Chain A
Amino acid sequence: MTHQDGEQITPYEPSSGTAIPTNHTVRMRTNFFYQVFRFIVINIKMIIIIWRSH
């Protein structure tokens, strides 16, 4: 599946080193209620960065 400088690597092979998200992680990415919570968390983190950088 992947091709890095001529080398072929398959993500699901132990040697690939690619972290594959679990189905749960993928589902949570569009879970409305969890994302409302993440929205608040991300905004706080971004405001801190903005505040530190200005």
Chain B
Amino acid sequence: MNAHAPIPNPNCEKPVLRERGQHEVFCGLTGIVWLHRKIQDAFFLIVGSRTCAHLMQSAAGVMIFAEPRFATAIIEERDLAGMADMHDELDRVVTQLLARRPDIKMLFLVGSCPSEVIKLDLSRAAERLSQRTLPRTRVLAYSGSGIETTFTQGEDACLAALVPLMPADQDSSLLVVGTLADIIEDQFRSLFQAIGIDRVTFLPPRRAGELPGIGPKTQILLAQPFLGDTLKALEARGATRIDAPFPLGAEGSELWFRAAAKAFGIDHQKVTAAIAAPLERARLALSRHRERLTGKRIFFFPDSQLEIPLARFLSRELGMVPVEVGTPYLHRQVHAADLALLPDTQISEGQDVDRQLARCRAAKPDLTVCGLGLANPLEAEGLATKWSIELVFSPIHGFEQAGDLAELFARPLARAEKLRV
């Protein structure tokens, strides 16, 4: 395998099918499901409608066991009719909430379609509320509305809202951006240490009070591809991005670590030594799934913006053949390194779900990656599917997870082979 980071060609203009029709994707509110697990003293208050509350419940159904750290302030008729002042109402709801949850250090007011359409200024509300609730609790605002954000873009909006609060830092450091499971964060931290990068911080942090510092000597390594706005905000504070493919699979992880090491002027051999063992483990784990996956045709419906790096991983490391790679939004700069490695295939951006379903049926792929609304209907038509949401909810990044990631794709095929009904 090529041990050198690919040189992305900025002129690489792979043809992209752009579609504008019915989208079948979650809105950005859904990001709360994993963000609230990550930032353990944060609370997410959606200012929205019963639909927003219902979406959260349907997406996070299994978490109902606990009193969750998210809720919805449901806008009612009397608020819209002007019978109640919305800002007063919001103050009342926030007071009620913080009285119940004194442990909350950071409160996000999360905008929704209704709050955006009626132009409820949540940033202003957040500033006003912060004056009352600080120092105990800081109030911030971002929008996860379905008219502005698609699924994972909710995390982008949330992290971008954190950037102005990050303390200035003049020293050199590596900032890894994008929610990762704690266990992966720990693996990455120790690998960076072995490589020789000592100052490594992560955004988002596990606790609201542990925001990493930022400055002109901060170098950013994206762990997730859907963070365009966050990246822009970080760059505006002087940080620079390290170009790399995303750390999915053995090759992806290797190139990701190598890109970071190169940016910090670390010797190639030192990296080779540091990552040798995990790289070998990842290759071994992948080899177990290769036979089942190689030559199999895969079709991606747009969902998380992870589609392009995933297709790159599946085709290069497991021999799968991408038939169509759909992404809700294609950030060319962020995806450049992955695009350069991706074999020729149909890339589509946006969605017209009925047309895309027709293409999918015609292509008869061996495996279709799609959302929960489409999975069973496609299975009923005889197409094996993989729920894309699992790719966002499970730990898939890095060397140690490469095998698990491959297994997520192998399992539906193995099951289809096994069943005799």
- Do A and B originate from a single complex? no
Which A residues fall within an 8 A CB radius of B? none
Which B residues fall within an 8 A CB radius of A? none
